[in-house]
Amino acid sequence: MHEHRTPDTSETLGCFAVTVIADEVEAFCASLALPPSPVPLTFDMSFLAREEIALALRQNLPRDGIVIHRAQRFRAHAPLEVGRAYKLQLLRHGVRPHEPVIHGRMHDAQGALVHEFWATLMLRSRDEEPA
């Protein structure tokens, strides 16, 4: 008897060292009119702009096309702390190639899972009509 299973399409994009820098948190919070403490959950996404991480993402997303952010989820197991270093593991999930889910898992120096996020994207070619 055959058992039908959804194929596991998870792929690790990399594991990166990131530090929560006070000035960056302050500027980020100011741009949203948020108090500078605690570190906002949405701050996690700013790590994706760091050079090494942005490069890993670019290599996994099409160069010519439009990336549409469809949905986003955050889960905080513990707060991020300013000045602390974390390991950010990035994975790509998704059954359809044009609808990837970028999953970030942040661990502290002791290996405890601190934050997770999932960004659901849709990749559209430039000549498609916007949804």
Partner 1 sequence: MKNLRSDTGVAPLCLGPITLDQLHRYAQASGDRNPIHVSPAAAAEAGLRAPIAHGMFILGQFERLIRQWRPACRIESLNAHFLRPLYIGDSLVVGARRASRDTGMTCALRLIAENSAGEIVAIGEATIVGGG
List contacts with partner 1 (CB under 8 A).
24, 27-28, 30-35, 38, 40-42, 45-46, 48-50, 54, 66-67, 69-76, 79, 126, 129-130
Minimum separation from the CB atom of position 41 to partner 1 (A): 5
Residue closer to partner 1 (CB basis): 3 or 31: 31
Minimum separation from the CB atom of position 107 to partner 1 (A): 18
Minimum separation from the CB atom of position 25 to partner 1 (A): 9
Q: Which residues have C-beta within 8 Å of that of residue 33, sequence separation ≥ 6?
A: none
Residue 118: strand pairing partners: 73, 103
Residue type, 63: R
Residue type, 28: F
Residue 93: strand pairing partners: 101
